Amino acid sequence: MISIASWNIRGLNRVPKQNEVKSIVEDNKLCLCAILESHVDIKRLLAASRQVMHCQVTSHVGNVKFLVSFIYANNYYIHRRLLWTELDMHKNFIGDQPWVLLGDFNTSLRLDESTARGSTMSIAMREFNDCVDSIGLSDINHTGLQYTSKQRPNLNTGILKKIDRVMANDTFLNDYANSYAIFQPYRISDHSPAILKIPSQGMVSKPKPFKFCNFVTSNAGFIDIVRNGWKLEVDGFRMFKVVKRLRALKKPLRKLSWQKGNIHQHVEKLRLELDTTQMLLDKHLDSVAHREEESRVLKLFTEAALEEEHFLKQKSKVDWL
């Protein structure tokens, strides 16, 4: 399974938001993730473009190869015209290759994709539709949230819209017919992360290295655990014995780490509760109770994430063999 994603999450300099990105990456086993509107110093970026970034994804296992464009469309429809023109020109380069586009298009395609419920299409929507028709795009099969963006000036009058999409040309849809997108709860962002899943035969996941926070070493039981682990009888060369003993320490040290990880567990519990609440709100748009509950849980989650940030601020991680 190949997974790529895009997420408009403003202000990535804050650790709680960095942690949410890490959570999305780890939970979905992403091999590629585009972060939009990060507000990170431009000097830290590898590459940048005003409204689009084009890439090629190749997997030597499973014979997967396609082109992908990550979109961050301008807030003003007049400036988006340049993006539509660039995509139309890029189609000539693409030819008959599989091509997928995902990101924040900053406008909806249809009237029913906004809770504002207008009676006629705006100029922005018409121009977006013209672009989609011109370059031959279609939405990939998707699940999750129907409305991917929230504008909430106050509790009861917020507007929800679908402006984040995963779209592809006919070649991609034919070559990767089992692909699908998931629009997950937006959590502490204003946008839903868009996850593209591409099933692939024969792909093998690499084992993850074991990690633990340095604060575990200050626990009274740490030395005893390591001492007992080092008594493990292992036959073989010296380096082989070291490796086997280190691996044998994974389980007891992981248990010790979780005993100290109540803050992390609290954040995980609230994250799940927030996801559930936001999914309910997506289905029951007029429910004041769901809006109030989402605001309550979001406040608790934000406070817990900041507490976790403070707790782990000075704690580095160590890799084991």
pLDDT for 138 equals 87
Indicate if 172 and 65 belong to the same structural domain: yes
**What is the C-alpha R_g of the chain?**
23
- Domain count across the chain: 2
Domain's final residue, options 140, 175, 198: 198
Indicate if 121 and 180 belong to the same structural domain: yes
Indicate if 21 and 167 belong to the same structural domain: yes
Q: Where are the beta strands (DSSP E) in the chain?
A: 2-8, 32-36, 52-59, 64-72, 99-104, 138-139, 142-144, 149-151, 159-161, 164-168, 180-183, 194-198, 211-213, 317-319
Indicate if 141 and 213 belong to the same structural domain: no
Low pLDDT (below 70) residues in the chain? 11, 13, 37-49, 60-62, 152-158, 200-220, 254-264, 310-321
**Assigned domain for 106 exists:** yes
Which residue carries 């769901």 as its tokens? 290
Indicate if 42 and 99 belong to the same structural domain: yes
Residues 6+ apart with CB under 8 A from 298: 188, 274
**Assigned domain for 135 exists:** yes
**Nearest partner of 31 among 3, 65, 53, 64, judged by Cα:** 3
Residue 160, domain CATH:
3.60.10.10
Q: What is the pLDDT of residues 98-151, one digit of tens each?
A: 999 998 898 888 888 887 777 788 899 899 999 998 898 888 888 888 888 887
pLDDT for 81 equals 92
Indicate if 63 and 161 belong to the same structural domain: yes
How many Cβ atoms from other residues are within 10 Å of residue 239's Cβ? 9
Indicate if 37 and 67 belong to the same structural domain: yes
**Assigned domain for 123 exists:** yes
**Assigned domain for 144 exists:** yes
**Assigned domain for 225 exists:** yes
Indicate if 163 and 302 belong to the same structural domain: no
Domain's final residue, options 177, 198, 219: 198
Indicate if 97 and 36 belong to the same structural domain: yes
Indicate if 118 and 16 belong to the same structural domain: yes
- Exposure of 72 by Cβ count < 10 A (0-12 exposed, 13-18 middle, 19+ buried)? buried
**Assigned domain for 204 exists:** no
Indicate if 315 and 238 belong to the same structural domain: yes
**Assigned domain for 272 exists:** yes
- The span from the first CA to the last CA of the chain, in angstroms, equals 26
Domain's final residue, options 164, 198, 232: 198
Helices (H), 138-261: 170-175, 222-230, 238-248, 250-259
Segments forming the whole domain that contains residue 226:
209-321
Indicate if 183 and 247 belong to the same structural domain: no
**Assigned domain for 203 exists:** no
